[in-house]
Amino acid sequence: MKKLIEAAIAVTKNSYSPYSKYPVGAAVLMKDGTIITGVNVENASFGLTNCAERTALFAAVSQGYKKEDIVAMSIAAGEKEIGAPCGACRQVINELVPKKASLYLTNLHGKHFESTIEELLPFSFGPEDLNV
């Protein structure tokens, strides 16, 4: 998973974060070995900002990948402390990433820990709750 964590850290250089000055990178590992990345892209109208986690996951979907294709995800943010996904991103991860997939949260220097969406979003709401 070192390569996945390094990809998330490396892509932060592409972040467009002139307002928060808080670059975030995300990398998603697919079963076929492909790593898809994303960054946060801010906007002067703050509500139009998109987080790195959603950018990477939406890119994976747009490239034809499915939930079951995802093996793991790494999210890189924070100089000293490890950043964590916001609530909106946790909800999207819950929807698009397998429940048991590893999530590696890391700061920009590689300090990290492993988690799952079930640990980050207990009592989540998902498709199974809609009786679809």
- Return mean pLDDT, the chain: 96
Please write the tens of the pLDDT for every residue from 44-99: 999 999 999 999 999 999 999 999 999 999 999 999 999 999 999 999 999 999 99
Question: How high is the pLDDT of residue 34?
Answer: 98
Question: How high is the pLDDT of residue 128?
Answer: 86
Look at residue 23 and tell me whether its pLDDT is greater than 90: yes
- 28-34: long-range contacts, CB 8 A cutoff, minimum separation 24: 28/56, 28/57, 28/60, 28/70, 28/72, 28/73, 28/97, 29/1, 29/4, 29/70, 29/71, 29/72, 29/73, 29/74, 30/60, 30/65, 30/69, 30/70, 30/71, 31/68, 31/69, 31/70, 31/71, 32/69
Question: How high is the pLDDT of residue 127?
Answer: 87
Domains of the chain: 2-130 (3.40.140.10)
Average pLDDT over residues 27-42: 98
Report if pTM > 0.75: yes
Question: How high is the pLDDT of residue 131?
Answer: 80
Look at residue 19 and tell me whether its pLDDT is greater than 90: yes
Which positions are annotated as active-site residues? 53
